[in-house]
Amino acid sequence: MLDRAKAILKEIISWRRDFHLHPELGFQEIRTGTKVAEIMEPWGYRIRRGVGRTGVLADLGNGNPIVAIRAEMDALPIQETNLVDYASQNAGVMHACGHDSHVAMALGAGELLSTEKFPGTIRFIFQPSEEVSDGEGLSGAPRMIQDGAMDGVGLVLATHVEPTTPCGSIRIGSGPSSGGVDSWFGEIIGKGGHGAHPHQTIDPFYIAAHVILALNGIVSRRLDPFDLAVISIGSMHGGSTENVIPDRVKMTGTLRYTQVGVREKIHAEIRRAFDISQTLGGNYELKIETGTPPMVNSPEASGMVETVARDLIGQENILPWKDELGAEDFGCYMELASGAMFALGTWSARYNCLLHNPDFDLDENSLVIGSAILAETALRFLRGGFKRTKN
């Protein structure tokens, strides 16, 4: 499968560069979805357009088992600074997180699998809006799920480019592989007045200072040291001039976690931190918005990926997963089926810029590895190969 992927590398690169030239923001991926459908349909895939708003489903085969391969299509609101002939043509929009590569690798896997015979069904999930949520707080994964993307799926696979891991290597592991993410929105309510007479006011900034200390103490003093979690303040706004103490101060932030119980504890502790407002004579309003769950690689699925990777690129090129709390809505799919995401190394001396950076680019030789592992893992699952080799 790796040799076959190498034979279509130029094609995979051409797809990736085309998507990179024409990036689209979340739930706006009209061109991207249209092109994906146009590429997949001649290979015999049954296409559903407009899934989860702007997503695409592509099925090949019939019946069970069903294995799904997911790729997200959206770009970021970043102005690209790369001086390459495939740099973004859409001002202020860039594929700085590698989603163009994910789509191209899924297409590569789709082409490789289109000539294979297998029992069951292969489903490609081309998902919109992994990066942002809509007005109802939902990103692309739950929207796709609402429209039936995971109906009957027994295994779901994905990859994500990883620019600090050498090209030619992957990272894979079981257990929590990214953080769940929620957002919080707080407003501290005081009593405004003249800056020369603070004793006649209830200063919301003074109260906010104590709330901030309490928030920053949650992870270090209220959670078990072995519970991975992050609480960050992202914005703080209040007042409009230098000599007036305002009535209110607004604060917003994010929280990350890997266990449901920890999440519930953090929610309670954030409320406790804002309760300080009442102790100091003020009040508050607080809303905690539930986001996407943690991404948890199942031992079965991650074992399948590792077995295939060992056969294709060798054990020496399989590295342990890096624990971190970045969010990824692929976790929504993994709540419904056994699944795994592997990190694809894209680093080389020339390509060493991090994700979400206006200079981000990658070593495109890595793309054949992603396509081959996705295709071969799906194929062995459908053919029952893993059952026969299970220890």
Residue 42: DSSP 8-state: G
Which residues on adjacent β-strands are paired with residue 38? Answer: none
How far is it, in rounded angstroms, from Cα 221 to Cα 387? 46
| DSSP strand pairing (170-171 vs 66-72) | unpaired
Q: What is the SS3 assignment for 341?
A: strand
Residue 293: DSSP 8-state: P
- Tokens representing 264? 């519930």
Signed CA dihedral, 356, 98, 148, 35: sign only: positive
Q: What is the SS3 assignment for 106?
A: helix
Assess whether 74 carries a catalytic annotation. yes
Residue 247: DSSP 8-state: S
Assess whether 130 carries a catalytic annotation. yes
Q: Which of 153, 148, 97, 102 is nearest to 126 (CA)?
A: 102
How far is it, in rounded angstroms, from Cα 286 to Cα 305? 42
How far is it, in rounded angstroms, from Cα 243 to Cα 250? 19
Among the listed residues 24, 80, 111, 130, the single catalytic one is 130
Query: Tell me, what amino acid is at 327?
Result: A
| DSSP strand pairing (55-62 vs 120-127) | antiparallel
How far is it, in rounded angstroms, from Cα 80 to Cα 68? 32
- Tokens representing 182? 């929620």
Token pair 């190498």 is at which residue? 6
- Quote the distance between the C-alpha of residue 23 and its chain's center: 17
Q: Are 379 and 120 in contact (CB under 8 A)?
A: no
Among the listed residues 72, 74, 247, 361, the single catalytic one is 74
Report the catalytic residues: 74, 130
